[in-house]
Amino acid sequence: MASPCWRRRALAAACLGSVLLLLGAALRALRPAFESNAVGTSWLGGKRRSPLQTLYNLDQGPRSALAEVHRQRRELLHRACSRHTRRQRLLRPEDLRHVLVDDARGLLYCYVPKVACTNWKRVLLALNGRGSGDPPSRARRQDAPGRLPSLADFSPAEVNRRLRTYLAFLFVREPFERLASAYRNKLQRPWGAAFQRRFGTDIVRRLRPHPSPDALARGHDVRFAEFLAYLLDPRTRRDGPLNEHWERAHALCHPCRLRYDVVGKFETLAEDAAFVLGLAGAPGLHFPEPPPGARAAARDRAERLFRDISPFYQRRLFGLYKMDFLLFNYSVPSYLRLR
Ligand SMILES: *[C@@H]1O[C@H](CO)[C@@H](O)[C@H](O)[C@H]1NC(C)=O
């Protein structure tokens, strides 16, 4: 007799359509870090080792210190996922929107805004200059030049093959530092005018009892506390997912559903980028680095912004971003007053 769990799953699949069933089944099959058929795949007619196979070989031999760091991060993510995630819904194709595809190299990159993602897109486009062995797909033909296709653009079979055989990576950042950076770039700085009109005006209208006509029209003077109140306002998430600049990294990249082979960190951007580029067979490529002192300045700015927030809001905000702290091994910032 069918178990209740199986029935639920079958019902969900019937409701959501066969596309999702296929996708869901493929993702469940991904659990082991390296499938033997994945690493055995001959790559571009055997001329080059795939990045995934290169990583597999690295993990078989005596590991470099860097390879060991990445193995431990993967394990920590895996453990944190099994400890902290409950039963999850099936992924829908649009959940894969942030996973960009580099068919030439065999890479999947989940981009998280405010974590050097523009630089990664540029580097991947540069790498992607070469042709791949694949026939052009629907996705690639439709794609504007200068943009990488997203996994969401492919059919389930094409998605599954790439998930099985490509090296998947993402880059994350200390969640509150990322949030402070998003606030600064999108709501505070003068060149965030489009974001200010789109989100700032909304925030002003919703949260200020007596807004000035100027602020209502331009949304240009949203304070950090107001931004946080907007994030925590139940209405915000009822209206749809958070904007990608402040959405949690786990909600953009689904690291407990998709297998990520490399978890890069903004805090160690240069080393981690070099590690990925080495696996991708482009060790000579230099990843653009932030200017010296920029990281420390960003950290200080985040600390200054959060210090002025009441412990009540700090606690609730930590609750909102907690999964990113747990999954990616970030410790609670020392300036937070959680008790
Ligand atoms: C997690 O973070 C702690 C404290 O920063 C660090 O000592 C440890 O090595 C990290 N673990 C992994 C797997 O990155």
Closest CA to 207 of 197, 218, 219: 219
Q: Is the CB of 332 under 6 A from ligand 1?
A: no
Q: What is the mean pLDDT of residues 300-322?
A: 94
pLDDT of res. 30: 42
Alpha carbons 314 and 339: distance in angstroms, whole number: 10
Q: Which of 321, 339, 113, 310 is nearest to 231 (CA)?
A: 321
| pLDDT above 50: residue 66 | yes
How confident is the model at residue 178, as a pLDDT?
96
Atom of ligand 1 nearest to the CA of 72: 13
Q: Residue 75 CA: which ligand 1 atom is closest? A: 13
Q: Which residue has the higher pLDDT, 136 or 260?
A: 260
78-89 mean pLDDT: 87
Please give the pLDDT value at position 286: 87
Model pLDDT for residues 157-201, shown as the tens digit of each residue: 999 999 999 999 999 999 999 999 999 999 998 778 899 999 999
How far does Cα 227 stand from its chain's mean position? 22
Are 32 and 24 in contact, with CB atoms under 8 Å apart? no
- The CA–CA distances, whole Å, from 82 to 27, 198, 330 equal 15, 38, 17
Q: Looking at the chain, how many residues does it have?
A: 339
Atom of ligand 1 nearest to the CA of 76: 13
142 lines ligand 1 (CB under 6 A): no
pTM attached to this predicted model:
0.83
Angstrom CA distances, 84 to 77, 87, 173, 291, 296, stand at 10, 10, 20, 36, 31
Q: What is the pLDDT of residue 3?
A: 42
Report CA(35)–ligand 1 centroid distance (Å).
27
73 lines ligand 1 (CB under 6 A): yes
Taking CB atoms within 8 Å and a gap of at least 24, the contacts of 237-240 are none
Q: List the one residue out of 52, 167, 175, 27 whose CA is nearest residue 102.
A: 167
Q: What is the pLDDT of residue 199?
A: 92
Quickly state the pLDDT bin for 146 (edges 50, 70, 90): low
Q: Is the CB of 268 under 6 A from ligand 1?
A: no
pLDDT at 26: 46
39-63: pLDDT as tens digits: 334 444 455 689 999 998 888 877 7
pLDDT band at 289 (very low <50, low <70, confident <90, very high): confident
Contact 233, 206 (CB under 8 A): yes
72 lines ligand 1 (CB under 6 A): yes
Average pLDDT (216-245) is: 92
- Confirm or reject: Cβ of 173 under 6 Å from ligand 1: no
- Report residue 139's pLDDT band, with 50, 70 and 90 as the boundaries: very low
* Structural domain spans, the chain: 8-175+255-294, 179-245+299-327
Q: Which long-range contacts (CB under 8 A, 24 or more apart) does 243-248 make?
A: 243/199, 244/98, 244/113, 245/113, 245/114, 245/182, 245/185, 245/186, 245/195, 246/179, 246/182, 246/183, 248/175, 248/320, 248/321, 248/323, 248/324
Atom of ligand 1 lying closest to residue 330 CA:
2
Pocket perturbation via mutation, ligand 1, pick of 81, 329, 332 by most ligand atoms within 8 A of CB:
329
